[in-house]
């Protein structure tokens, strides 16, 4: 019995040598990664001038600011703030919509089942990745210098940034579609456009709609941030009130943003549930 076990063990070791006889490089890889991560962490603490005393002194300043924020009070600026909030929502909605409209046709050329040739598909994918790799805030700074301050720059920043993200997400949804419907239309004599229109789009549009709704919700926050750098909306008002230390107005603006984001999140989840079912809000 013992000899049989030894034979079985030898056979298993011969079949899976990497499990029993891992090379030294593989055994040292994880400890080396841990040591490297700790070294980067310690270097970051030193290089960024992290100081516990500064942190705890800052907490007392934060407590003072929090007390100055109570109670939230818009003063006589409520109409201005409501208009700015509407501007922020418009930036998010318009920018996301423009991105989705332009990304959908481009995503077809990035999908493997539409463009089988890797030579043709590769530059489209890299183009989308390059756009997606630049943050919305950077795009906002670029467009502010191109078209000037205001909400138009914010719309363009969100549209360009989301164009890259939507192109990737839409192409993945297209690649995941059931090809049997497409093949059925092809077998009945349909053209490639008919295959896309009647076999592909009905499958992926609900998924795409859910993604667009989620991005509208997310871009409401992004529109607030880019407003701080001059792209209009409630973010610009928030930056101005922080600059002049009007903390009660700052807290009121923050509450407005939180309520707006919560309302959009609720509406978006309901719409996504109605479009693609319970998995939309899972």
Q: What is the pLDDT of residues 233-279, one digit of tens each?
A: 888 899 889 888 889 999 999 999 999 888 888 888 888 777 765 54
The answer to whether residues 238 and 254 touch, using CB atoms and an 8 Å cutoff, is yes
Alpha-carbon distance values, 253 to 69, 85, 87, 144, 239 (Å): 11, 9, 14, 23, 10
142: tokens are 């670029």
The tens digit of pLDDT for each residue in 41-69 reads 888 777 777 777 777 777 888 888 888 88
Residues of the chain below pLDDT 70: 1-27, 276-282
205: tokens are 């549009």
Q: Provide the whole-model pTM.
A: 0.76
Q: What is the pLDDT of residue 281?
A: 45
């Amino acid at each position: 019995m013992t000899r049989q076990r030894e034979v079985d063990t030898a056979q298993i070791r011969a079949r899976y040598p990497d499990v029993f006889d891992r090379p030294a490089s593989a055994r040292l890889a994880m400890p080396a990664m841990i040591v490297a991560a700790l070294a980067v962490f310690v270097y970051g603490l030193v290089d960024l001038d992290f100081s516990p005393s500064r942190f705890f002194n800052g907490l007392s300043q934060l407590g003072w600011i929090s007390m100055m924020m109570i109670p939230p009070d818009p003063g006589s600026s409520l109409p201005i703030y409501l208009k700015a909030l509407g501007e922020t929502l418009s930036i998010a909605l318009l920018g996301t919509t423009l991105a989705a409209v332009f990304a959908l046709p481009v995503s077809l050329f990035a999908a493997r089942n539409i463009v089988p040739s890797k030579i043709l598909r590769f530059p489209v994918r890299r183009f989308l990745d390059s756009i997606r790799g630049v943050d919305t805030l950077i795009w906002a700074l670029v467009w502010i210098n191109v078209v000037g301050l205001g909400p138009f720059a914010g719309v363009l920043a969100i549209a360009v940034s989301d164009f890259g993200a939507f192109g990737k997400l839409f192409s993945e949804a297209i690649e995941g579609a059931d090809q049997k419907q497409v093949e059925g239309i092809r077998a009945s004599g349909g053209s490639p456009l008919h295959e896309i229109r009647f076999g592909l789009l009905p499958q992926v549009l609900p998924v795409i709609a859910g993604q667009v709704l989620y991005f509208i919700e997310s871009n409401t926050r992004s529109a607030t941030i880019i407003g701080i750098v001059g792209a209009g909306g409630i973010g610009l008002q928030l930056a101005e009130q922080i600059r002049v230390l009007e903390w009660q107005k700052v807290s009121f603006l923050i509450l407005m943003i939180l309520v707006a984001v919560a309302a959009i999140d609720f509406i978006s989840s309901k719409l996504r549930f109605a479009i693609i079912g319970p998995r939309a809000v899972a």
